[in-house]
Structure 1
């Protein structure tokens, strides 16, 4: 399923497990030949509620799940119990308030940050920018200033603070595993000038020493490559029921892909880009050479 824009209903964003559970209920309803109106009637609700449930926009009550499973003639108790367990876990997760909810500047990024916080692995292909989890404060400020869309320039510091909080996931007992493939152009773009960029590149080399961080560079000399269409992130989660989620930012919209087959296509594209790139060791040497060139 591919969608554009932030998926939310009012102030409630959908969740990975909520969307998984909603997708299963949708599949069961279609297989049973029932309409949303029929499902809504069983719950003494409106069809809008069924839409919200099937899209993962709202936490789901156990009685509602049981009633729908009865309507859809789901006989397998293991299937029902598994959905009830998913719903319970999803409700518990929704109660947890993350730091990002108190950062108004990044309100449009809330869902991605929430998902990133729950992921255990991220594969990222980047064309024009250093990945956000690797950006230095100076790089972030330069990037924000270049945007030139701020009503209050002091709010840029909110972005800097938020980026630093996200980067805490790279450390600790269960750090986020990240494999980033970066096009050479992102390394040579002088964001903030030579000094800022030199420090940024040196920071990349430092991060590459972490056991959970793998950085590769796709050099210009590699020529045509399979990921020229734009940057994307592939987020993987620990739950058995959660499929990989692909996230792409486009002009004026955000695109999400949560279908297992479509997600696998992007995983293949990422693997091809990684194979065409320099090895992690050679990538760090390459980044170091660019950094040294900037300091001369």
Structure 2
């Protein structure tokens, strides 16, 4: 399935204009955040073209910035309509009816982020899952009931993986708790194929894979899985997605994101080096041989 990325060019043009009007009005990102009742991080992502701008929000910002010239107003609104229309053309839009808001946001941000760092406690990261492993996880989740729903959800997960293998692939660094390798998702044959797939993906130049062994004992990052998404040039736009049974939660405030950067650094330092991790994965894969 071909990948269609969001139109960040149009988004950046709109964001550049909004930033200029905000600065000319003598307002800070905190002031703009108060207008939309959101975080400063969201304003920064709007101004860098990373998230779409809803038309009511755009109108509110134009009023706050004192944008009264009709031609300037029309330019901003036209840019917003075009950028949002292009975003709606992403490949994931055909699955719109089955994607929750958080998951859709994750897919859209994956399409434009530069790198992802993740720590996983029990499951192989979605971007590294085989179709059979992904299917077993989907069935176990009980979120999708019919074979058709399950098939489509697996299709979404596999389509996302083009970000690791397609044009301009993102850098992906995963630290897996050793339990991930032993949890028999789908049974021995599925697990063997999954671990063999991990060894293949780990050899890609844009993929780093480490295993945090049982022998390391307690550590600071052992209490839950998360993803840290980073964007080109602007570190303040980094986001964290925490995964919970009740649903996934975005964290975007810089102190929160910084704490997860530190957690990931702790995890990667405690984990086995990539070469030793690969050897461990290969050794465990052999244990699943019939």
TM exceeds 0.5?
yes
Contact 1:235 1:244 in 2 (8 A): yes
Does residue 245 of the first structure (1) align with residue 239 of the second (2)? yes
Q: Which residue of 1 aligns with 2:117?
A: 123
Q: Cα offset for 1:153?
A: 2.5
Structure 1 residue 262, shift from structure 2 partner: 1.6
Alpha-carbon distance in 1 for matches of 2:81, 2:243: 28
Q: Which moved more, 1:97-106 or 1:186-195?
A: 97-106
Partner Cα distance (1:264, 1:88) in 2:
36
Check conservation: 1:53, 1:59, Cα contact below 8 A: no
Gaps of 5+ in 1: 1-14, 37-49, 72-84
Q: Normalised by the size of structure 2, how large is the TM-score?
A: 0.75
1:60 CA drift (Å): 7.1
Helix, strand or coil for the counterpart of 1:253? coil
Match of 1:39 in 2: none
Aligned to 1:41: none
Q: Secondary structure at the match of 1:211?
A: coil
Number of the residue aligned with 2:99: 106
| RMSD (Å), alpha carbons | 3.5
Residue 88 to residue 235, structure 1, CA distance change in 2 (3 Å): farther
Report the CA distance between 1:107 and its aligned residue. 3.5
Relative distance call for 1:221 and 1:169 in structure 2 (3 A) is same
CA distance in 1, matches of 2:77, 2:216: 47
Give the conservation status (yes or no) of the 8 Å contact 2:30–2:39: no
CA contact (8 A) 2:120 2:177 kept: yes
In structure 2, do the counterparts of structure 1 residues 265 and 53 end up closer, same or farther at CA, with 3 Å as the change threshold?
Answer: closer
The CA deviation at 1:251 is 2.4
CA distance in 2, matches of 1:86, 1:137: 43
Q: Could you say which residue in structure 2 is the equivalent of 1:203?
A: 197
Counterparts of 1:18-33 in structure 2, within 5 Å, are 27-28=30-31
Q: Which residue of 2 aligns with 1:69?
A: 65
Q: What residue number does 1:287 align with?
A: 281
Give matches, 1:263-282, under 5 Å.
263-282=257-276
SS of 1:145 mapped into structure 2: helix
Output one character per residue of 1:174-227: Cα deviation in whole Å (capped at 9) or x when no partner. 101100000010110000100100000000000011000000000000101111
Task: Kindly tell me the number of residue pairs found equivalent between the two proteins.
Answer: 251
> Separation in 1 of the partners of 2:266 and 2:80?
34
Equivalent positions of 1:117-266 (< 5 A) are: 117-238=111-232, 240=234, 243-266=237-260
- Contact between 2:127 and 2:161, CA under 8 Å: does it hold in 1? yes
Instruction: Flag structure 2 segments of 5+ consecutive residues without an equivalent.
Output: 1-10, 44-52, 68-74
Deviation at 1:69, TM superposition (A): 2.9
CA–CA distance in structure 2, aligned partners of residues 90 and 257 of structure 1: 25
Structure 1 position 270, deviation (Å): 0.2
Cα distance in 2, alignment partners of residues 59 and 242 from structure 1: 25
Instruction: Measure how far apart 1:165 and its partner are.
Output: 0.8
CA distance in 2 between counterparts of 1:165 and 1:238 reads: 23
Taking a change above 3 Å as real, the CA distance of residues 61 and 192 of structure 1, as seen in their structure-2 partners, is closer
Q: Write the deviation string for residues 46-84 of structure 1: whole angstroms up to 9, x where unpaired.
A: xxxx4489867625787754541349xxxxxxxxxxxxx
Q: Report the CA distance shift for 1:66/1:93 in structure 2 as closer, same or farther (over 3 A).
A: closer
